[in-house]
Chains A and B, each alone.
Chain A
Amino acid sequence: MDNLGFVLGASAIGAGLAMIAGLGPGIGEGICGGKAVEAIGRQPEASGAITRQMIIGDALAETTGLYSLIVALLLMYANPFIGQLK
């Protein structure tokens, strides 16, 4: 197997592995949404404020997932390892 093929294949696997980090934000947003529904159930009149806070919480929980997405995108479109072959 030539080096380029190996690097490309390993990069594709790495991009896939990086996206496993999507688990964390998924769980976090699930907890966040569940708690928000609980809070609205207890205090329906505060639903506007709770929803606003929930969306901010979701956005913050999402950040780690986006970092992994950036890594995966780098491996897919701007692979830094190919340049090191030469």
Chain B
Amino acid sequence: MINTAAVLMAEERTFTVDGPLKSIVFELFGKEWVIAETVFTQWIVMLVLAVLFFILGRNLKLKPEGKRQVIAEWIVGFFTGYVEDSMGVKYKKRFGPYIGSLFCFIILSCLMGLFGLKNPTSDVSVTASWAIITFVLVLWTKLKTGGVKGYLHSFIEPMPFMLPFNIIGDFANPIAQALRLFGNNVSGMVIGGLVYFALGSFAILVPAVLSLYFDLFSAVIQSYIFVTLTMSYVAMADMSEE
């Protein structure tokens, strides 16, 4: 009796983790093109960030006059200081802007889940593309600081038989980085969805607490970890003697 009731209840509700926006499919030049929901959400994130930083960075003065410029200077100072702490003075100017924008982009993408949109980081291709950027940066740093010879030589260090491990290690980093961000965010979404589904109409306090942990705490920690790992990978790839 209870079992059949449970089955009937389960049949009425379907478990889904999709957001309110839908993917768009259209035909152009005889091919089918798909704009994924997560791409839309990323456009929203880009728009928000662009407008926010355009307003913050408009007509700056040598001596800050309003709160606006103080906030802008604090943000820039925070990220350049953070890059200087983790990578050294050499990278401060070059990496500060990239790390800052990457951090803002990731954290706002993660927080999109709070507004009911589909979290872009719950799409593995989004996180993979960010990880590939890091991979290219590492490759570029190695080639620039060590030259082609130094780069090839780094594969047989410390011993020649370490060659396969070094090659695997090079490719494992971006995969692990992409899956870490993806896994953390999608696990929160799946657990939240399952709890909603299980509680049904009794979903009052528990999902809010879960969402606080997964959407806020986890998002901040994971974006912090992502940029920190990016910085330490690039700093480790630096082969110049200093």
Contact = CB atoms under 8 A, between A and B. Distances in A.
Q: Chain A interface secondary structure, helix, strand, loop or mixed?
A: helix
Contacts, number: 32
Interface string B176-188: 1001100110110
Interface in A57-76: 58-59, 62-63, 66-67, 69-70, 73, 76
Contacts of B228: 52, 55-56
Q: Chain B interface secondary structure, helix, strand, loop or mixed?
A: helix
A56 B86 CA distance: 12
Given A73-B186, A73-B190, A66 B232 contact: no
A38 to B, nearest CB: 22
Interface range for A: 10 to 19
Counting chain A CB atoms within 10 Å of each CB, which of B86, B183, B186 scores highest?
B183
Contact of B221 (A55, A63, A67, A70): A55
The 3 A-B residue pairs whose C-beta atoms are closest, nearest first, are: A66-B183, A59-B225, A69-B183
Interface of B: 86, 176, 179-180, 183-184, 186-187, 190, 221, 224-225, 228-229, 232
Interface of A: 52, 55-56, 58-59, 62-63, 66-67, 69-70, 73, 76
9 contacts: A52-B228, A56-B228, A59-B229, A63-B179, A63-B180, A66-B183, A66-B184, A69-B183, A73-B186
